[in-house]
Amino acid sequence: MRWVRRSLWDVVPRDHRQSDAALRRRQVVTAAVVVIGAVVLGVSLRIEAGNPWFYPATLVLAGVWTVGAFASGPLHLGRISGGEGRPERLVRPVLAPILLGLGLAALFVVGGLVVREIPWLEHQVRSVLAIADRGSLPILLLVTAVNGVAEELFFRGAVYAALPRSPVLWTSVAYVIATLATGNVMLAFAAILLGVVVGLERRASGGVLAPILTHCAWSLSMLLALPLLFG
């Protein structure tokens, strides 16, 4: 399982230093986008899943995160070690992050077998699945992927780079707080585990590519798997 260590723990060398002025600018932009995103999120949460404005509102929020991420300053894709026999070679993380996302999804599916035996927690999951029941699956897949990319660009891109200390911890906390706005405990619990994993990937690789691929692999897998488990 050395690929897991390379993906989550071994920090590759890079030079992503920011000047004090650039860091302050990133922090100001990030803080402003958090406020704007909170407002858009609050509006979107008042829209029922069956409402035709649900998808546009969700995409607007993704747009806020994406624009804010790029407006804050430079973002990097990141690299990880090429592995045994070529540790000095740095490569773009592609396969390993996808496998980690699928592994997380498998873990949540196993956990779902327990959750569905607990009525209160089962209700929390079914409230999320109600969105899938009322929507078009292809559109849901697209919206889920777009939001996964946007969230990682902002939280593991802009917010991470704006934090001079303990960025893995604080980006995870920020992501959980944003998820708690939905009022769904199960989504918040999922955000804790996902946030820590993608935060470690960001720390190891120095970029957003690995977190994006893990997030999308996990969220798309859960969108397909949970309706079968709780159907």
Concatenate the DSSP letters of all residues of 26-88 into one string. HHHHHHHHHHHHHHHHHHHTTS-TTSTTHHHHHHHHHHHHHHHHHHHS------EE--TT-TT
Helices (H), the chain: 2-8, 20-44, 54-72, 95-115, 119-134, 137-152, 160-162, 167-180, 185-205, 209-229
pTM to 2 decimal places: 0.91
Rounded to an integer, what distance in angstroms lies between the CA atom of residue 136 and that of residue 66?
24
Mean per-residue pLDDT over the chain, rounded: 87
pLDDT above 80: residue 1: no
- Tell me if 210 sits within 8 A of 157, measured CB to CB: no
Share of the chain above pLDDT 70, in %: 93
**Residues 118-159 pLDDT 10s:** 887 788 777 777 766 666 788 889 999 999 999 999 999 999
- Parent domain of 7: 2-229
The per-residue pLDDT for 203 is 96
Please count the structural domains in the chain. Answer: 1
Asked if residue 178 lies in contact with residue 147, where contact means CB atoms within 8 angstroms, the answer is no
Max distance between CA atoms of the chain, in angstroms, equals: 55
DSSP secondary structure code for residue 117 in this structure = T
Q: Which two tokens stand for residue 159?
A: 């917010």
Angstrom distance (rounded) from CA 171 to CA 186: 19
Higher pLDDT, 68 or 140: 68
